[in-house]
Amino acid sequence: MNKRNWYFADNGKGQEEGFSSQGLTEFKRDHFTHVARENCQNSIDAKSKRNNGPIVIKFSVVEVLSNEIPGIDNLITHLNECASYSENDDEENFFKKAIKHLTRNKVRVLKISDYGTTGLEGIGVPKSSWNALVNSIGKSKKGKGSGGSYGLGKNAPFVVSEANTVFYSTLNEEKEYGFQGVSKLMSHEHNGITTRATGYYYCNDSHRPIQDPKEIPNIFRRSEVGTDIFSVAFVNGNSWKKSIIKSTIENFFVAIERGELEVYVDETVISKESLDGLVVKYFPKIGKTLVNFYQYYDAYLNGNKYLINILDKGTVELYLKQGENYNRKVAMFRSTGMKIKEQSRLPKEISYAGVLITRNDDVNEILRKMEPPTHTDWSVDFLYDKTQIKESKKVLDEIISQIKAIINELVSKNIDESIILTLDGLLPDLNDQELLNINKSNQVVPNKNRVNYSSVEDPNELKIKKKSNIGKKLAKNKKVKERNNSTKRKSKVNNRSNEKQDRYTNLDFKKVRSFSNDDTKDYTLILETSNTGKGLFEISLIGKGNKVYKETIVSVQDKNNNEIIEIKDTNIIGPIYFIKGQSRVLSVKIPGYSNYSLGVEAYEI
């Protein structure tokens, strides 16, 4: 029998390795989330071609007698030496806490097991999946379409170990066994030499993993093809189950719903059949609002599906669903079924949520290389080759551009229905005679036969003028606010304001309506343009005899998406962005409400 123990190599009088140099920091925040994400991804990547069903992953916590932990006494010796060698109080406390846990009668261990995979191939062989996982740092042995690229995700199980110690056990499809421990500590003095930070539990004479199944302790030995990961001295806390369940559902619901992944967290089974019930249990409504995840889940199951060609390099799937107060974001998934990020900065004219999924093609591969070690973003900042940066940016920009185009098309198709729903029950039916006529010069001409729905006595007149002193007015107000500044500063403000005034041009209005609402004590303003642009609006009240009242506006809200419109000055609002042919429905509140008509002057910026 080969002698087995923990071995920390001599650093050869080279640079010492500190406690924080082990690549674990990125995974310490939300560590249970990372444990679920990284291990599920790794198992999906290792799916066996012989497996026609889902990958199965099991998370469980077991209590192991301390004397059954391989090499525990020797490991405690190294931990004590680290505590003595450290010059940092926090590090010293970490090692003392680890020692305290390992000297208990029983040690908590998180066991992560997968089934339906190949197991780790090439046990003890360089350039193999075993070597990449167990014996390397920042190295990945994964091909096209797989999840990881940096080889750092394997650090996630270490951050939930109070001793930064993990054991690996595998049985592969060639019926080969492999067992080895890894402990990520720090350089320390041992038997008169300064060591490296990382130590290994294996056969000391050959520096190879243990491959004889008889020499692998029963609790660590695999009985089926697949891999076990054991996080020794598992962190305390009762929230681990809930955290791993939620993280698994949030990040892998696409793979789970497809029937490609099943996850067991103790007795809880996360599968295609149980997914709906678990979503309701772990992602409840907040008031009437669905949490972000539920919106994505709804979009994937019930949304419209679009297939998008990306520069002839591959195809992505987009699922979009409109819903009240939905977050106007798209969850981005790669082909493995794992969520990478949430895309914001998308059109906000309607409420919706979406899911985008890449396929196993060149687009997926390009995006994979744009991810950080935590796999939570796509950015060219993580690339080095100039040609690759240029190509990748084109692909990412094209994806975002296509998403925006589809959302804008959805907005255009549904905007009229959206307006009807917004005004339903508030206003009587409208007909073409009630529209204001717009002449060739864009001057709005009130229809003499127009009826004000709140007051028959006054015309409901809405004016769009070509010329105005709105720029001067804004400049004047700003000047008053800054009158204590230097003369030079005042001059710059006036110059910029006058330059801005010169840039104001008319928006080309296609539809203009306004109504006073007695029930809600506000005004509804409907605007639609035949061109695209941003506009500022000066709003006033038109009384009898066309007398103009310039009142302070209290609030303006877009009824299509509940967005609050900025009040620029006393009675000036905006800027408001218009898309050609799309209506904006605004609720305008003015103090001392009366059922007068609205007067509006509009200017394109």
Average pLDDT (189-194) is 95
Highest mean pLDDT (candidates 73-87, 122-136, 281-295, 398-412): 73-87
Please give the average per-residue pLDDT across 155-171, as a whole number: 95
Q: Which residues contact 566 (CB under 8 A, 6 or more apart)?
A: 573, 574, 575
Query: Lowest-pLDDT range, 220-224, 425-429, 522-526, 560-564?
Result: 425-429
The verdict on whether omega for the bond into residue 575 sits within 30 degrees of 0, i.e. cis, is yes
Element (H, E) at 113: strand 106-115
Task: Answer whether residue 467 shows pLDDT above 70.
Answer: no
Mean pLDDT lowest among 113-122, 144-153, 178-187, 348-357: 144-153
Q: What is the pLDDT of residues 489-518, one digit of tens each?
A: 443 334 443 443 334 345 677 766 777 766
Span of 6-20, 288-302, 395-409, 498-512 with lowest mean pLDDT: 498-512
pLDDT, residue 6, reads 95
- For residue 357, what pLDDT is reported? 97
The pLDDT tens digits for 363-374 are: 999 999 999 877
**pLDDT tens digits along 314-351:** 999 999 999 888 999 999 999 999 999 999 999 988 89
Residue 518: the pLDDT is: 65
With 50 as the cut, is the pLDDT of residue 42 above it? yes
Q: Which residue has the tokens 């302070």?
A: 552
Q: Across 159-219, where does the E strand assignment appear?
A: 165-171, 177-184, 189-190, 193-203
Cβ of 495: how many Cβ atoms within 10 Å? 11
Confidence at residue 434, expressed as pLDDT on a 0 to 100 scale: 36
Does residue 442 register a pLDDT over 60?
A: no
Q: Say what the pLDDT of residue 325 is.
A: 86
Question: How far is residue 293 from each of residues 276, 357, 367, 407, 604, measured CA to CA in Å?
Answer: 12, 15, 22, 19, 38
Q: Which residue type does 97 have?
A: K
Write down the pLDDT at residue 288.
Answer: 59
Measure Cα distances from 472 to 15, 97, 476, 504, 566 in Å. Answer: 67, 69, 6, 12, 19
The 3-state secondary structure of 116-143 reads CECCCCCCCCCCCHHHHHHCCCCCCCCC
Non-local CB neighbours of 582 within 8 Å, separated by 6+ positions: 349, 411, 412, 415, 528
Helix or strand run (H / E) with residue 388: helix 386-423
Of the candidate ranges 227-231, 542-546, 588-592, the one whose mean pLDDT is the lowest: 542-546
| Most confident stretch, 38-47, 91-100, 374-383 | 91-100
363 within 8 A of 316, measured Cβ to Cβ: yes
Helix (H, G, I), strand (E, B) or coil at 419: helix
Indicate the range of 84-88, 275-279, 511-515 predicted with least confidence. 511-515
Helix (H, G, I), strand (E, B) or coil at 242: helix
Distance CA 181, CA 7 (A): 10
3-state secondary structure of 575: strand
Q: How many helices (H) and strands (E) does the chain have?
A: 11, 26
> What DSSP string runs through 535-562?
EEEEEEEE-GGG-EE-PPP-EEEETTT-
Task: Report pLDDT digits (tens) over 468-480.
Answer: 444 444 444 444 4
Which single residue is written with the structure tokens 């995974």?
27
Please state the pTM of the whole predicted model: 0.68
* Tokens found for residue 497: 């304001």
Residue 258 phi, psi (nearest 5): -75, -10
How is 27-74 classified by DSSP, letter by letter?
Answer: GTTTHHHHHHHHHHHHHHHTB-TT--S-EEEEEEEEEEEGGGSTTHHH
| Distance (Å, whole) CA 586 – CA 604 | 17
Indicate the SS3 state at residue 250.
helix
Whole-angstrom Cα Rg for the chain: 33
Cα gap 293→19, rounded to integer Å: 36
Question: String of b and e for 79-107 (b: at least 16 CB within 10 Å)?
Answer: bebbbebbeeeebbebbebbbebbeeeeb
- Hey, what domains does the chain have and what are their CATH numbers? 4-268 (3.30.565), 291-420 (no CATH), 432-468+504-604 (2.60.120)
Query: Rounded CA gap, 494 and 227, in Å?
Result: 71
Average pLDDT on 116-121 reads: 96
What does 398-409 look like in DSSP terms, one character per residue? HHHHHHHHHHHH
- Model confidence band, residue 552 (pLDDT cutoffs 50, 70, 90): confident
Residue-averaged pLDDT of the chain:
80
Compare 138 and 354 and report the one with higher pLDDT: 354
Contact 303, 293 (CB under 8 A): no
Exposed/middle/buried for residue 241 (C-beta within 10 Å: 0-12, 13-18, 19+): middle
Secondary structure of 461-530 as H, E, C letters: CCCCCCCCCHHHHHHHHHHHHCCCCCHHHHHHHHHHHHHHHHCCECCCEEEEEEEEECCCCEEEEEEEEC
Residue 419 has pLDDT above 90, yes or no: no
Q: Which whole number is the average pLDDT over 270-289?
A: 86
Calculate ∠ Cα 362-368-370, nearest 5°. Answer: 110
Distance, C-alpha 305 to centroid of its chain:
20
pLDDT at 213 exceeding the cut of 90: yes
| Strands of the 352-358 sheet, one edge to the other | 304-309, 315-322, 352-358, 329-333, 339-343
Q: What is the pLDDT of residue 497?
A: 38
Handedness of CA 241, 245, 250, 255 (dihedral sign): positive
